[in-house]
Every structure is written in C-alpha cells, then in structure tokens.
C-alpha cells in the first residue's frame, strides 16, 4: 500500500472518529469548478492584478468603476460555474455528522457561494459573500440579483454606491463569523484545512489555534503550504478527488448531480 493511500485511510479514520470537526476552505476548493485562485503563479488573480488596486476601500474610492466591474465579473463567473465533487463531499459530510449528532463547522474564505450550492447548510463566510452588496452610505444590503448593472459603479437608492459585502484588505472581518470560528476551534477535536495557501490572517493561524487546543489536524492541498509540516496528516492533491475518496473510505454515499 502506498503511503498516500495509508494517509488517506488514516485521514478517513480520523474524520470518522471525530466528534467535532472544523473545516477551513480557501480558493483551491473552487479551482476544479473553474474559478481562479489568488496566488497561482500562472492563473491566480494576484499574479495578474495588484490586490491594492482592486481589494481595498482606497481602490474603490479611487476607481469605483474598475472595482465594481471586477467584482461583477467575479460574481458572474461564480454564478455560471457549478460546485465540484469537493463541495458536494463537504456538504454530504456535514449532513452525515449532523445526523450522527456530531458537529462540523464549515468556515470558508471563499465568497463564491459554491459550498451552499454543493449542499452545505451552514457556512461561516469569513470574508463575506459576493452575492450580497451594500450601500456605502447606509450599509443597507441587497442581493446582487436585484441590482441593475446598467451603469458602473452602481448607485444606491440612498445616494451612495453599492459595494460587495466582502472583506477587503485592511477591513475587519464580520464579528459573528469570527466569534463562531473561535468558538468552533476551541471545541473541535479535528481541524481540516482544504485548498488554502494559509497566508492570509487571521485564517492562516486557525490551524495553530486548533492544534494548541488539542485538536488533530489534516491538510488537503494541491501544493505544500506553511502548514504542511505541522499537520498530523497532509494529503497532497486535488480536493475534488481526495474528498470523495475519503467519503468512500468512510462509507458515506451521496448523490452528485
């Protein structure tokens, strides 16, 4: 048996045995759906664009048209792709654990909404969501589908501009999402990091916090990350391949469209 296979079996056993799991995901879980990650040297958003020109309040104030067009493009991309087997596997695992009266808190840095479309029912969106926008003046939120994109930037009804409800560099994370994350990390006995480079705080430190609280740790990622050397089990590869294999190993069947 190859060491990759025995690591997969070990990960499956750890997941099956755990009473309280935290899964943290990043852009890598949506890569197989066709959405670009951020730090891929060829295709990543940040290899093509400067985040300071697109993902800060300063950038929005300086060029709201450019920033609005970029996020509208990303929203359109997210809406036009489908969840992949990794999303479905996570959704099915969350249901399985819930049916067994066990906990699985899914925390994502992604703003694309694909976990929910892949069957996850309760998702902590640490960096917000691209599907809801809010007025810069009043904070009033509206689903993006209700907005008209005849002009860029998009004027709000209250004399401001509409901006995505996502967290830009330099902004605070949503308080409730942070609180839920820290509570879940304090209570979990297994922490799984999937498809994230582990470079953006505070999410990058979650794995350490969970480890210090005594949780076991697993990483599933295409490439090595700063966390690869500190986890109990590191599985290198595509999450849309590895996660379904783990569910098969545990014996969880689930329909994928």
d(CA 166, CA 19): 31
User: Does 35 participate in binding ligand OAD (rule CB under 6 A)?
Assistant: no
DSSP-derived secondary structure for 180-245: HHHHHHHH-SEEEEES--S-STTHHHHHHHHHHTT-EEEEEESS--TTTTTSSEEEES-HHHHHHH
| Min dist. Cβ of residue 241 to ligand OAD (A) | 8
Where do we find the tokens 């958003």?
45
d(CA 222, CA 124): 23
Residue nearest to ligand OAD (CB): 28
Q: Which of these ranges, 37-45, 61-69, 172-180, 182-190, lies near ligand OAD under the rule CB under 6 A? A: 37-45
User: Does 38 participate in binding ligand OAD (rule CB under 6 A)?
Assistant: yes
| Min dist. Cβ of residue 14 to ligand OAD (A) | 18
User: Does 196 participate in binding ligand OAD (rule CB under 6 A)?
Assistant: yes
**Could you give the residue ranges of the DSSP H alpha helices within the chain?**
3-17, 28-31, 45-48, 51-54, 57-62, 64-80, 85-99, 114-117, 175-187, 203-212, 239-250
Closest CA to 82 of 54, 123, 118, 36: 118
Sequence-distant (6+) residues with CB within 8 A of 101 are none
| Min dist. Cβ of residue 19 to ligand OAD (A) | 26
Q: Which of these ranges, 9-17, 74-82, 141-149, 194-202, lies near ligand OAD under the rule CB under 6 A? A: 194-202
Q: Which of 45, 87, 127, 131 is catalytic?
A: 127
d(CA 107, CA 208): 15
User: Does 205 participate in binding ligand OAD (rule CB under 6 A)?
Assistant: no
Q: Is 87 a catalytic residue?
A: no
Radius of gyration of the CA atoms of the chain, in A? 19
| Interface characters, 139-158, with ligand OAD (x: CB under 6 A) | --------------------
| Min dist. Cβ of residue 159 to ligand OAD (A) | 27
| Min dist. Cβ of residue 72 to ligand OAD (A) | 16
Nearer residue to ligand OAD within complex by CB, 127 or 216 = 127
User: Does 195 participate in binding ligand OAD (rule CB under 6 A)?
Assistant: yes
Contacting residue, 127, 131, 163, 216, with ligand OAD by CB under 6 A: 127
Where do we find the tokens 């691209």?
130
Using an 8 Å Cβ cutoff, are 166 and 174 in contact?
no
| Interface characters, 161-180, with ligand OAD (x: CB under 6 A) | ------x-x-----------
Residues 144-168: b if buried by 16+ CB within 10 A, e if exposed: beeeeeeeebbebeeebbbbbbbbb
Active site residues: 127
Q: Binding residues for ligand OAD, per CB under 6 A?
A: 26-28, 31-32, 37-39, 44, 51, 55, 109, 127, 167, 169, 195-197, 199-200, 221-223, 225, 238-240
């Amino acid at each position: 048996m190859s060491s990759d296979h025995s690591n997969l079996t070990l990960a499956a056993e750890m997941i099956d045995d755990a009473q309280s799991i935290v899964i943290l995901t990043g852009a890598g879980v949506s890569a197989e759906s066709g959405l670009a990650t951020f730090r891929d040297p060829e295709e990543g958003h940040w290899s093509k664009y400067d985040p300071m020109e697109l993902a800060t309040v300063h950038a929005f104030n300086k060029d709201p048209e450019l920033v609005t067009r970029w996020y509208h493009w990303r929203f359109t991309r997210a809406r036009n792709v489908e969840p992949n087997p990794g999303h479905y596997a996570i959704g099915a695992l969350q249901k399985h654990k819930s049916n067994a009266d066990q906990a699985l808190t899914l925390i994502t840095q992604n703003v694309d909404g694909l976990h929910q479309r892949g069957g996850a029912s309760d998702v902590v969106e640490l960096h917000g969501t691209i599907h809801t926008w809010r007025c810069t003046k009043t904070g009033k939120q509206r689903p993006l589908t209700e907005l008209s994109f005849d002009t860029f930037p998009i004027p709000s009804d209250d004399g401001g501009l509409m901006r995505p409800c996502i967290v830009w560099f330099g902004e605070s994370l949503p308080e409730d999402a942070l609180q839920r994350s820290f509570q879940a990390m304090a209570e979990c006995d297994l922490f799984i990091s999937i498809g994230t480079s582990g470079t953006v705080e505070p999410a990058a430190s979650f794995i350490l916090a969970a480890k210090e609280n005594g949780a076991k740790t697993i990483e599933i990622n295409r490439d090595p990350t700063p966390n690869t050397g500190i986890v109990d089990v590191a599985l290198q590869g595509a999450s849309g391949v590895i996660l379904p294999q783990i569910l098969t190993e545990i014996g969880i069947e689930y329909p994928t469209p």
